[in-house]
A and B are shown apart, each in its own frame.
Chain A
């Protein structure tokens, strides 16, 4: 991921599919994104039905072949964005790289890589929800932390599926989203809210339990250990 650009979004430099709640879908290289906008470079825009292709058919084709750049830079307002996914992840789902034979063929309907729908709102309308088990465990662990510390959740680049979850105890920082729970608060930085919207954090006890577990409806791919994911 963004090797040289640590001040940018985790998806900086990565070709992404930005699906919207409307008829448009964008494919371009992510320059940066936050909770207000997604900035794309070298972009193609497709409208549902354009050239006889649905959004899904267009995305499948883009995943196989890439896109012909039509716009240098496009800013997509976050309010319009339904999902942001790595085009490369869809490429893998469709069976790998392009062959010359495939270039000449029309897109195949059967190999559809579904464009995910927007994450369902959590019960409390929050970005992240903690199950009662997770809340109890956080409270237990926080008893050993400095006063004022809360649970910080986030994402960082890395892991075998592209993005890893971050979970630590930390004080609130400027710009954080704060989610109050009984006895503690959850903090999320602005960039992480994009990836964690709709996520539920659970805690599994016992010999077979995995400890804290993230359930992410936005993840298109999750590694076996559950510590990393891609969107």
Chain B
């Protein structure tokens, strides 16, 4: 059962205020993923404080890096279930977990950070892992 929206709203805003596009429906996800060229990152957000509490600030920190994905979006697990299910269909080989982070290049999944790699880690460590991937696969923002 979804959490009350007023509880979740600040968790959505934490990412959207950093320029992350919210995908609320399956159509939103398909539209976002339709563009194959370049790099994209999809964050599966979650209410869980044990992991998502570090993931969101970690993502925000990582997005300050010079090299970063061309497009960044998020779905909210447990809240926007249709959108989350659709997003997961783009990385269906990986067991589902939330929060988690998928990075694509030219439409192909090139990196995935599962929940267990986020749990208990400080935002700086999560950001460090992400920026390492950004530096490797993303172009530097002009």
Interface residues of A (CB under 8 A from B): 1-5, 12-15, 63, 65-69, 86-88, 91-92, 96-100, 103-104, 162
- Residues A97 and B112 in contact, CB atoms below 8 Å apart: yes
Q: How far is the CB of B66 from chain A (nearest CB, A)?
A: 21
**Cα A69 to Cα B116 with chains together (Å):** 14
Which residues of chain B come closer than 8 Å to A96, judged between CB atoms? Answer: 117, 129, 132
Would you call B110 and A99 a contact (CB within 8 A)?
A: yes
Q: Given A3-B49, A13-B48, A66-B97, are A98 and B111 also a contact pair (CB < 8 Å)?
A: yes
Name the one of A4, A13, A65, A88 contacting B121, with C-beta atoms under 8 angstroms: A88
Expressed in whole angstroms, the Cα–Cα distance for A191 and B19 within the complex equals 42
Across the interface, name the chain A residue whose C-beta is closest to B130.
Answer: A97
- Chain B residues near A1 (CB-CB < 8 A): 50, 120
Total A-B residue contacts, Cβ distance less than 8 Å: 81
Question: Mask for B102-140, Cβ within 8 A of A = 1, else 0?
Answer: 000000111111111111110000000100110000000
User: Per a CB cutoff under 8 Å, which of A4, A69, A88, A91 touches B49?
Assistant: A4
Instruction: Give chain B nearest CB distance to A101 CB in angstroms.
Output: 8
Q: Are B116 and A88 in contact (CB under 8 A)?
A: yes
Say whether chain A's binding surface is mostly helix, strand, loop, or mixed: loop
- The CA of A69 and the CA of B114, in the complex, are separated in Å by 14
CB distance from A190 to the nearest CB of B (A): 22
Contact call A86/B117, Cβ cutoff below 8 A: no
- Which residues of chain A are near B119, meaning CB under 8 Å? 13-15, 86, 88
Which of B49, B51, B109, B114 contacts A65 (CB under 8 A)? B114
User: How far apart are the CA atoms of A69 and B51 in the complex, in Å?
Assistant: 18
Please name all residues of chain A whose beta carbon is closer than 8 Å to the beta carbon of B95 when the two chains form the complex: 65-69
One of B53, B114, B120 near A162 (C-beta < 8 A): B120
Interface flag for B141 (CB, 8 Å): no
Instruction: Verify if B1 is at the interface (C-beta below 8 Å from A).
Output: no
Binary per-residue interface labels of chain B (51-95) against chain A in the complex, 1 for a CB within 8 Å, 0 otherwise? 101000000000000000000000000000000000000000111
A91 touches B117 (CB 8 A): yes
